[in-house]
Structure 1
Amino acid sequence: MNKKATKYQPTTVAWRFYLVLSVIALVYLGLVARTAYIQVIEPDMLKKQGDLRSLRISANKVHRGSIVDRNGHELAVSVPVQTVWADPKVVVENNALAKVDHWQALADVLDKDVNEIKARVTRNPTKRFVYVERQVSPAMANYIKQLKIPGIYLRKESKRFYPAGEISAHVVGFTNVDDKGIEGVERVYDQLLTGENGKKRYRKDAKGHRIEVIEDVESVPPQDLVLSIDQRIQALAYQELKGAVKAFKASSGSVVVADVHSGEILALVNSPSFNPNNRANTAIHRFRNRAITDFYEPGSTLKPLTALIAMEFGSVESDTIIDTSPGWMRLGGSRVSDPINRGKLSITDILVHSSNMGTTKLALSVPKQFLLDKFFDAGFGEETGVGLIGESPGIMHDRSRWSQFELATLSWGHGVAATPLQLARFYSSLANGGVKKPLTIIKGGNDDPVFGAEQRIFSASSTENLLPMLEAVVNDHTPLAKVEGYRVGGKTGTAIKAVAGGYGNDYVGLFAGIAPLSKPELAVVVVINEPGGDLYHGGEVAAPVFSRVMKGALRLLNIAPDQEKTAAQQISDKELTHV
């Protein structure tokens, strides 16, 4: 019995063994293939998943640079604020919505509807970031922090603040909620003011410890921007302009004050303006910088240019007498006339009485192309070089055919349109001895290769002869433009606004002038658009503003008064010398 038992040998079914062996081999080969596929053919997915769990980026944000005036007074600064944001996933997982009183307190401090906030946070529970409110004050942020609502967090940001408010709003402009410049110099110099944020990419372990720094990019600090604006003169000009627009029931107005030697703009204001710190419910048209975007027919303010062109060509001298009798003339089928027959007039008298007849004869005394070229040389039909967004080149037609009547109207400042800024540059050229310089809003000048170069457009002798004529205009015809203690030269302008198909019923009153004439320093242009009262002439609505702005600016800059000497005396002296 035992013998038989020892002789028994268990048998194994071969196919079962090989089946199990094959399954093991297939599983092993599948794992190898999957491993090779993941690591060799398509490794990015695992890397991405690993990075999501371990890779972090910390930003080193820089505040936007400040904008200051030429004396260092702040016009735009960045102040620290906080942004309230939510992590919907954390809110849902912690049942944070059950804290009804806390959510109501959050809504109250943000002045929002509590149901609206909850709906925004819970609209997509899988999201990890939702804005609740941007740019809240530190006090509000501290209150929200103390509520300790799960999933509600704070993040540091900065907000732009404009200390000068509406006074410098059109020049400085403003930024949007993401601190990107969208108007004024904030937009033009956005990159310079923004700088570049730094960042650090690092890897952390499961416990949150930093184990590897992968990339460390240093931040590029922003630069502060120094404008040519003198905020004292800016405030004075705005106050005077705002009062005039209201007093004369005008729709708008602009004032430009320029340094005639450097081309720096010391003041550029418009009325109505807006508060850049609170733009809610502000009409969009108020954001427009009218001094650079709106153009008008400058009217009689360009008659000095016509007189200067005639003297420059040599068809007349400063003491030439022009016969304007009988006070009217026909050019083609159109009539040119003065209100009365003024007879024989000197060039000074032509400007003092703003004679259309005299100006026409001066214009027709020079070749057509010479006249047109000088208008273009004076800067009409081109930008001033200031570089602000939205600047208009105005209108100056460049065509081959001009009738004599068109040339006559051009000589009075009709058929051409200019911005207040262009007019300021032209009068700066007169004050600067016939040298045209680009205007700049940046202290220190314009480095633009196109607009940065100065250009002589008139001889020094011709402009020197013109200045006492402009002084006579003020002394004999526009007493409201006088400035006590200073010799002032300038010219009024009153133009009917053009409409589709001709001219309408609205006026523009202008005055452009320079001072002190013994050594010109400043050019000031005042435009009062659509005055609504009985007074609408430039000498009535714009000249008083010019006088007060020029007087204040000269005193603020400590420019010494010059010795009083009337234009009539100067012309008399020249006549004696000539004899």
Structure 2
Amino acid sequence: MSARLSFFAAVLGAWLLAIVVRLYGLQVIERQHYVKLASDQQQRVVTLAAPRGTIRDARGRELATSVEVESVAVDPRKVEDPEHTAAVLGEALGWSSRQRAELVARLTANADRHFIWVARKIDPERLQAVEDQRDTLPGVNLLPESRRFYPLGELAAPVLGYAGMDNIGLAGLELFYDKIIAGRPGRRVVIQDGTTTKVTHPGLEASAARAGADLRLTLDAALQYRVERELETAVRRSNAASGTVVVLAPQSGAVLAMASYPSFDPNRLSDYSRSELENRGRNRAVADAYEPGSTFKAITLAAALEQGAVSLDDEIDCEMGALELNGVRIRDHRPFGILSVRQVIARSSNVGAMKLGLAAGRKALYDTIRAFGFGRPTGIDLPAESAGLLRPLERWSALTPAYVSFGQGISTTALQMATAFAAIANGGRLLQPYVVAAIGDREVGPEARRRPSTPVSPATVRQLRAALESVVLEGTGTPAAVAGYRVAGKTGTAEKVIGGRYAEGHYVASFVGFVPAGEPQLVIAVVIDEPWPAYHGSEAAAPVFRAIAQQALLHLGIRPLREPHRAWPGERPPSGPLPDDRPAARRQVSLARAALPAPVPVPAGTVPDFTGLSKRRAVALASRLGLRLELHGSGFVRRQQPSAATPLELAGSTLELWLTPSLASDGEGP
């Protein structure tokens, strides 16, 4: 008996010892492990979303802000009938039968989970429909979230971009400044009981969310609205595929308006397919490169003027509409004979522009193009900016300078063209354009942007502005004229390249200009893609410039010029036209010609008298005689060496000519 008791006592003792050892292991040795398991089961880390910063226009109007909305979530463990739940939710949310079937599958596959999303950030009408059915939907919860809201809908949408479901910027300014306006999310540890109810405790870890910084833009919402309205009207009227407008302040580089059509409403992203959103959401002003056509002749003229190869009153033989180079015959858009350089730009002669480019020289032409910012991004604070296309100089063929001179074989963006014309408008400073004027309370000053460069001299800029003003006064740009204001600009009509070839019937029409021409305060670039049947820049784009400029000048309070009084009340008006800058310049040319002595007759076999000949005629005469010319200056021949009547056999093969554009240059020469 005692042996049996001893046995049971030993067993009981061993059992108790095992329990003690096990308890020691659980309570002492493995304590931290089980504390962690309990904590993992009882505590949850809740992320506190940070509200994104508000985006405002230049006058403080909200363009993008964050609002609190509801999202639908489900605890699959509490769902009694997945098909019923999917049917009721699908009806409330306006889902298709396919979407309802997908929810049934998700609820079944995740039956052991306590949380899945069903619909994020739903509209108020959908929210009400879900709330009306809550009593019949066990396990369905509504959770507050922050949603991006764009109060003005489509206004400036391609510039603003949009944020995704998780409040991450995906396009436009929302993407470019995402790290700044996204803020920093907070975190809070909560205790969760057996019913998954979460409670906070002051002793648990917590950190507050930090809101993102606000942005203040250079865009003016009122002006942006007017620009978008005129652009949409133009695209629809001209049956075009799309259109782009950029409005810059030339003295600072600030973007006052930037529009693309067609556009989209960032509040209704689900209404668009992926391809639709890619098309409508693209900011064409910075992302779409196109061949600029004749608007680029302004850059060609800049190169020729900067090299001293021509002056505005030099004459160019435009060959009656065609020029053969390296065995290739290049045609003009219409036949022109002798035109002044000013007229070449005003009437947009391709042959004349080619001769300007060739006169500048291929390297000088390339360097000037680069100096105006082409072939590289402008550096604007927007994503997905195209650099355009400018082939390196070493890859230029013999014909490249000719084609590039009138805007073929090179591609630019609307913003690049606007920035280049802004440099002409502001006196010769190439500025980095920008959209954000302030981050939070901190102004974004000029020191944050690239230092301005000087593509050409002030003297060249003055001549460029005069030539571009003549385009609107008497050339292809007259439809861009704005009553009461001096306007300068250039039209462009370019065939599109499709599949590596120029496609007949597919054009890009454009106009780039600035106003008022005397003291420019607005640069406006208009690009209309595939207008039809009126496809020229003067028809499809220049009138859009005029309509936008009229409203922008009025909106910004820029006063028109007053015509000078021809007579005070009671006086008789003087006879004849009032003086202006252009006739004065033309009179100067005629005086220069009249002041030059008539050529002296010389014996045959001697050097002719070149005095008084224009540069073009002097070159033609020297070519017939087999003489190589060294030219100094431009305009009309004032001196020559060897002198007239020198026997040709004694003159050698080189003739030096000194030219002058006016009487004021009487002493030009060595």
**What's the TM-score, normalizing by structure 1?**
0.88
Specify which of 472, 475, 483 is matched with residue 474 of structure 1: 472
Tell me, in whole angstroms, the C-alpha distance in 1 between the residues paired with 2:393 and 2:27.
73
Q: Which moved more, 1:320-329 or 1:564-573?
A: 564-573
- 2:178 corresponds to which residue? 190
What residue in structure 2 maps to residue 275 of structure 1?
265
Following superposition, the deviation at residue 88 of structure 1 comes to 2.1
Shift of 1:335: 2.1
Other-structure match for 1:110 = 93
Task: Report if aligned partners of 2:489, 2:511 keep a CA contact under 8 Å in 1.
Answer: yes
Q: Which of 343, 353, 356 is the aligned partner of 1:349?
A: 343
SS, match of residue 409 in structure 2: coil
CA separation of 1:44/1:288 partners in 2, compared to 1, >3 Å: closer, same or farther?
Answer: farther
Residues 446 and 452 of structure 1 are in contact (CA less than 8 Å); yes or no, is this contact kept in structure 2? no
In structure 2, relative to structure 1, the CA distance for the partners of 1:524 and 1:306 (3 Å cut) is same
Mean CA deviation greater in 277-286 or 53-62: 53-62
1:37 Cα offset (Å)? 7.1
Residues 175, 210 of structure 1: alpha-carbon distance in 2 compared, 3 angstrom cutoff: closer
2:311 to 317, 322, 328: 317
Q: Deviations over 1:153-209 (max 9, x none)?
A: 211112222222223111111222222221211111222222112223256899987
SS at match of 1:50: helix
Q: Distance in 1 between matches of 2:423 and 2:114?
A: 61
In 2, the alpha carbon distance for the partners of 1:211 and 1:337 equals 83
Question: Secondary structure, in 3 states, of the residue corresponding to 1:523?
Answer: strand
Give the SS at the match of 1:454. Answer: coil
3-state DSSP of counterpart to 1:136 = coil
From the superposition, tell whether residues 175 and 428 of structure 1 become closer, same or farther in structure 2 (CA, over 3 Å): same
2:646 maps to: none
Residue-pair matches, total: 561
Deviates more, 1:401-410 or 1:206-215: 206-215
Alignment-derived partner of residue 168 in structure 1: 156
Give the aligned partner of residue 83 of structure 1: 71
* Structure 2 CA distance for aligned equivalents of residues 209 and 289 of structure 1: 47
- The structural deviation recorded for 1:507 is 0.9
Q: Which runs of structure 2 are paired with 1:139-150 in the superposition (5 Å)?
A: 141=127, 144-145=130-131, 147-148=134-135, 149-150=137-138
Q: Work out which of the residue numbers 557, 571, 576 in structure 1 matches 2:585.
A: 571
Amino acid at match of 1:126: D
1:62 aligns with 2:60: no
Change (3 A) 1:106 1:322: closer
Provide, for residues 24-66 of structure 1, a one-character-per-residue CA deviation record: whole Å limited to 9, x for no partner: 34652574267437754x5554123211344344554332222
Instruction: Give the deviation of 1:305 after TM superposition.
Output: 1.0
1:36 aligns with 2:50: no
For the 8 Å contact 2:321–2:332, the answer to whether it is kept is yes
Query: Is the 8 Å Cα contact of residues 201 and 213 (structure 1) preserved in structure 2?
Result: no
Q: Whole-Å Cα distance in 1 between the matches of residues 242 and 5 of structure 2?
A: 100
Tell whether 2:131 aligns with 1:132. no
Helix, strand or coil at the partner of 2:394: coil
Per the TM alignment, residue 530 of structure 1 is displaced from its structure 2 partner at its CA by 0.8
Instruction: Please tell me whether the aligned partners of residues 55 and 217 of structure 2 are also in contact (alpha carbons under 8 angstroms).
Output: yes
1:259 Cα deviation after fit: 0.9
* Residues in 2 aligned to 1:241 and 1:566: alpha-carbon distance in whole angstroms: 34
In the alignment, which of 392, 395, 405 is matched to residue 389 of structure 2? Answer: 395
Contact 2:191/2:198 (<8 A) preserved: no
1:282-297 aligned at under 5 Å gives the runs: 282=273, 283-284=276-277, 285-297=279-291
Q: Tell me the distance in 2 between the aligned counterparts of 1:352 and 1:209.
A: 76
Question: Match for 1:24 among 13, 20, 29?
Answer: 13
1:455 to 440, 453, 456: 453
Deviation at 1:377? 1.2
What is the DSSP-based 3-state SS (H/G/I as helix, E as strand, rest coil) of the residue aligned with 1:222?
Answer: coil
Report what 2:208 is aligned to. Answer: 218
Q: 2:418 — aligned with what?
A: 424
Q: Is the deviation greater in 523-532 or in 450-459? A: 450-459
- RCO (CA 8 Å, sep 6+): is it higher in 1 or 2? 1
Separation in structure 1 between the aligned mates of residue 333 and residue 41 of structure 2, nearest angstrom: 87
The answer to whether 1:496 aligns with 2:519 is no
Rounded to whole Å, the distance in 2 between the matches of 1:140 and 1:81 is 11
1:524 offset after TM fit, Å? Answer: 0.6
Q: 2:354 aligns with which of 345, 351, 360?
A: 360
Query: Which residue identity does 2:297 align to in structure 1?
Result: K
For residues 271-322 of structure 1, give each alpha carbon's deviation from its aligned partner in whole angstroms, at most 9, with x where no partner exists: 1112222231442322222222211110110111111111112222343333
Task: Tell me the amino acid that sits aligned with residue 281 of structure 2.
Answer: F
1:379 aligned residue (373, 376, 387):
373
Say whether residues 1:51 and 2:50 are aligned partners. no
Decide whether aligned partners of structure 1 residues 97 and 392 sit closer, same or farther in structure 2, where only a CA change above 3 A counts.
closer
* Residues 202, 212 of structure 1: 8 Å contact kept: no
Please say if residues 468 and 567 of structure 1, whose CA atoms lie closer than 8 Å, have aligned partners that are also in contact.
no
Query: Alpha carbon RMSD of aligned pairs, Å?
Result: 3.1
Q: 1:264 aligned to 242, 254, 260, which one?
A: 254
- CA spacing shift, 1:255–1:566, aligned 2, 3 Å: farther
Give the Cα separation in 1 of the matches to 2:124 and 2:586. 70
Q: Say which SS state the counterpart of residue 528 (structure 2) adopts.
A: strand
Alpha-carbon deviation of 1:470?
0.7
1:128–1:480: structure 2 CA closer, same or farther, 3 Å change rule? Answer: same
Q: Is the 8 A contact 1:471 1:488 kept in 2?
A: yes
Stretch deviating more after TM superposition (385-394 or 311-320): 311-320
- Quote how far apart the aligned CAs of 1:270 are: 1.3
Q: C-alpha displacement at 1:228, in angstroms?
A: 1.5
Match of 1:73 in 2: 61
With over 3 angstroms needed to count, the CA separation of the structure-2 counterparts of 1:70 and 1:25, relative to structure 1, is: same
The answer to which of 20-29 and 264-273 deviates more is 20-29
Q: Hey, what's the Cα distance between the residues in 1 that align with 2:285 and 2:377?
A: 12
Instruction: State the Cα deviation string for residues 509-552 of structure 1 (Å, max 9, x = none).
Output: 1111011011111111111111122x111001100001101111
Structure 1 residues without counterparts, runs of 5 or longer: 1-10
Higher mean C-alpha deviation, range 344-353 or range 144-153? 144-153
Deviation readout 1:480-512 (Å, 9 max, x if unpaired): 100111100000011111123421121111111
Q: Which moved more, 1:415-424 or 1:27-36?
A: 27-36
Letter in 1 for 2:510: L
Q: Which whole-Å CA distance do the structure 2 matches of 1:196 and 1:574 have between them?
A: 68
SS in 2 for 1:473: helix
Secondary structure in structure 2 of the residue aligned to 1:498: strand
Aligned pairs for 1:485-564 (under 5 A) are: 485-505=484-504, 506-533=506-533, 535-562=534-561
Kindly indicate whether the alpha-carbon contact (under 8 Å) linking 1:169 and 1:274 is maintained by their aligned counterparts in 2. yes
Deviation readout 1:94-142 (Å, 9 max, x if unpaired): xx889x7x98765543334796566654543321112232223456546
What is the percent sequence identity of the aligned residues? Answer: 34
Write out per-residue CA displacement over residues 60-110 of structure 1, whole angstroms, 9 at most, x where no aligned residue.
Answer: 433222211111122112222111222222334xxx889x7x987655433
Which of 241, 252, 261 is 1:251 aligned to? 241
Question: 1:204–1:212: 8 Å Cα contact kept in structure 2?
Answer: no
Q: Quick one: distance in 1 between partners of 2:126 and 2:369?
A: 59
In 2, the alpha carbon distance for the partners of 1:483 and 1:129 equals: 63
Indicate the larger mover: 339-348 or 183-192: 339-348
Aligned partner of 1:560: which letter?
R
Q: CA deviation at 1:472?
A: 0.8
